[in-house]
Chains A and B, each alone.
Chain A
Amino acid sequence: MSSQKAPSIAVRGVGKTYSGVTVLHDIDLDITPGEVHGLVGENGAGKSTLLKILGGAIRADAGTLSFDGEQVTVGSPRDAIAHGISLISQEGALVPALSVLDNVFLARWSHRGGLVSARSDRKRLAELLEVTGFTVDPDERVDRLPIGVQQQVEILRSLARGARVIAMDEPTAVLAEHEKDNLLALIRKLAAGGTTIILVSHFLEEVLSVADRITVLRDGALIRTGKASETSPRELVGHMVGREIDVLYPDPPEVPAGAPVILSARGLKRGLVNGVDLEVRAGEILGIAGLVGSGRTETLRLLFGADRPVEGVVEIDGVALAQHTPRAAMAAGVAMVPESRKEQGLVMVRSVAENVALSSLSGRRAGPFVKRPAEKSAVGDISKSVDIRAANPEAPIETLSGGNQQKALFAKWLLRKPKVLLIDEPTRGVDVAAKTQIHHLITGLAADGLAVVCVSSEIEELLALSHRVLVLRHGEPVGEYPRGTTPEVVIAAAFGDHSEGEES
């Protein structure tokens, strides 16, 4: 994109310690200009930490960085940008209330005599859209855009800043299947144009397909760097975990004949959602598939009462919910793992333990007081069963790695022992091993008689997990498919008759 060439990056002896816990140790890494460098590892391995050090978001405690053989200090994101490095973080860093245009040129608006000159920004944005093949309305506020498009805005911003090295932290975690393909194509295109891409992802096939070389981190140490063409997914997992493990998805247990219907909804309507009916029996896992904007998340939110339906009923055990509020739904035994950890799921400044305990507080109280020993053991047990790796349960949950936050979110709802579990993106940001673990957890819950409704952008995951898959399109059910349906069939249904071209 930029006329200047990407620098070669040499990381030497880089380390980082947080309150006595070493999270990165003695990292040596070379990144050659124009390569796509994959970075993989378990949750908490230190991938984001390494990227943040490169992007100037945090400072290393030890070691040096050199660009083109010259040692540099990257003390702030500003420094990094000056060196042509741009970080697209796991959490996203757009200003919600500003337009696409303003976000892309954030703090670097073109100006003439102190006045922002929107016209030349518009022209620059049009050029960038041309290069990337994105189609976004420059004047739309970014918080009104689907997550996938928000991410495109971040990429546009990196390019607008003349980034020659773009570090992306799990960019595809929030994307639907076809959006992922688009992003990977763009990565290839950028790399071919000489931009270096550093890519963190838990989708190993994806990394293998796009990266030139792959580095594996484990427990803060660099295990190995190797050519992608000479590595198999199985080998990668072995390096990540430190031993051979099986990463096959479990099959959900048969739904017993005559299992009662636990959750049923009829004629749900609100906004996008236009008349959704569904029924889930005890022990059954219903998957909901659809494109971004098809009303999947919205449907879950209506079932949980997070939004109030304009029309329609939700019944639990044959009894209609008295009110459409999360409280009423929870009282009836419904739980929902929401789509976004940061906005809807977790209270970032509070501790891991407090977050996990939050939705089931009244189950462990003596009068107005929290029963602290009971809470400690409940949180301890559930954390163990979903494998939350936290140095200290009293530490703020924002200090956990993304995948571990996801597990904590899961744990919080399991503590309520729900009858109906609604899950939006169950394994977003979770590593391969932990993903299998969560799948085992979900199928295990179904075996115990829970009714589960699951939304996932990852079609393979959805098909592996569900007994039935309901496909939504423009907020309406367009078909229901039994177990064993191929991804192609479901995707075709999600797109309508003709594929591509007509997505959100």
Chain B
Amino acid sequence: MSVDTLVKTAAPGSGNMSRLAFRMRDYGIVAALVIIVIALSLSTDTFLTTGNLVNLLDQTAVIGLLAAGATICIISGVFDLTASATLALSAIIGVQVGRATDVYVGMLAAVVVGALLGFVTGTVVVRSGVNSFVGTLATSMVYRGLAVVVTAGAIVYPMTDAAETFGMLTWPSLFGLTSATIMFVVVVAILAVVVARTTFGRRLYAVGGNAEAARLSGIRVGSIHVTAFMISGVCSALAGLILASRAGSAQSSMATGTELTAIAAAVVGGTSILGGEGAIWRAIVGALLLTLIGNGFNLLGWDTIYQQVLQGLLILFAVTMDRWLRKRTR
């Protein structure tokens, strides 16, 4: 019997409508970012100044890191609502370890605590089998509560002689960018490679796309989820260090609610909340978009009371576009 393999090659879709829609879905959000950048460049003379751009990236760093962590969790099919509580708790412990030892040891401790908390969150979600939304919501209350317990509700500062070193993440560094920005760029680049190029990344997508098929392909679904939460925990700790370094202190109510902004940034960037799809670069584009809006309000001298309204509308718009473009390609 001979049935020749007939590999049909895609016909060159000369400006084909559906192909265009396909591209739009993939890169539409980048176009939106470019349009806003151009609009701001044209309507203000302050936007394209080095000072503003440095500032903009510095501001993106925190949400960008959290959004990258959130993206990894979402791709694997879980939500991490502990992000901001983990951020606070690890920053606080970092400061306190720093007081007892040395600033650098303290910062390392913060990162380790972030990973550990991620491990605990992940284990709770995997072992209990409850929906990650509920599981991490409860866990985040525990972490936030522990942060209050550890600080007794007070603000914690590094030792006075170490205060300057503690502010190191705000220092200018390569290309005049802040150290926080450099750290953010490096971490995100590493995560992007991990997700796109490693066997772990492949498994992450598979688990989020179809957990049962992944399990039957020999993938340890639970450990993939725990690892995703640990990465998210490290991202939270790093974001916490940036905030603490900027403020020169840490406290239990730090960054409350930013876990939702982070998820919003991921979704605005085009990562599907259904899991199995998405990319780290999308988290960054989403974080930049949300930050740009705030920046634009400042530069244009608009009343910032409308900022949240606009951000909310943007999120709705992004999600609606995503749905619409998906429908179009049916």
Interface residues of A (CB under 8 A from B): 17-22, 58-59, 241, 245-248, 304, 306, 326-327, 330, 336, 338, 343-350, 354, 357-359, 361-362, 365, 368-370, 372, 384, 387, 389-392, 412, 433-434, 436-437, 440
B198 sits at the interface (CB 8 A): yes
B218 sits at the interface (CB 8 A): yes
Q: List 30 A-B contacts (CB under 8 A).
A: A17-B16, A18-B18, A19-B10, A19-B18, A20-B13, A20-B18, A20-B19, A21-B8, A241-B3, A248-B1, A306-B215, A326-B215, A327-B220, A344-B216, A347-B206, A347-B276, A348-B210, A350-B205, A350-B206, A354-B206, A358-B206, A361-B203, A365-B199, A368-B200, A370-B202, A387-B5, A390-B7, A433-B3, A434-B3, A436-B1
Additional A-B contact list (18), CB under 8 Å, known A18-B18, A21-B11, A436-B1: A18-B329, A19-B10, A19-B13, A20-B12, A58-B330, A241-B3, A248-B1, A326-B215, A326-B218, A327-B220, A330-B218, A347-B205, A347-B209, A358-B214, A361-B202, A372-B197, A384-B7, A389-B6
Would A389 and B8 count as touching, CB distance under 8 A?
yes
- The listed residue (A19, A241, A326, A368) touching B199 by CB distance below 8 A is A368
Take A20-B12, A359-B217, A361-B203 as given contacts and tell me if A349 and B3 are in contact as well, using a CB distance cutoff of 8 Å. Answer: no
Nearest CB in chain B: distance from A136 CB, A = 26
Would B206 and A21 count as touching, CB distance under 8 A?
no
Would A326 and B5 count as touching, CB distance under 8 A?
no
Nearest CB in chain B: distance from A360 CB, A = 9
Nearest CB in chain B: distance from A54 CB, A = 15
Closest to B277 in A: A349
Complex CA–CA separation, A122 to B129 (angstroms):
36
Nearest CB in chain B: distance from A405 CB, A = 12
DSSP class of A's interface residues: helix, strand, loop or mixed?
mixed
Would B213 and A345 count as touching, CB distance under 8 A?
yes
Interface residues of B (CB under 8 A from A): 1-3, 5-14, 16, 18-19, 22, 194, 197-203, 205-206, 209-210, 212-220, 272, 274, 276-277, 329-330
- From A330, A365, A370, name the one whose CB has the most chain B CB atoms within 10 angstroms: A370
Would A347 and B210 count as touching, CB distance under 8 A?
yes
Closest to A365 in B: B199
Nearest CB in chain A: distance from B73 CB, A = 17
Cβ of B10: which chain A residues have Cβ within 8 Å of it?
19-21, 391-392
Cβ of B13: which chain A residues have Cβ within 8 Å of it?
19-21
Would B200 and A326 count as touching, CB distance under 8 A?
no
Nearest CB in chain A: distance from B126 CB, A = 15
Nearest CB in chain A: distance from B259 CB, A = 25
- From A20, A246, A346, A370, name the one whose CB has the most chain B CB atoms within 10 angstroms: A20
Cβ of A247: which chain B residues have Cβ within 8 Å of it?
1
Would A22 and B11 count as touching, CB distance under 8 A?
yes
Cβ of B215: which chain A residues have Cβ within 8 Å of it?
306, 326
Complex CA–CA separation, A338 to B201 (angstroms):
24
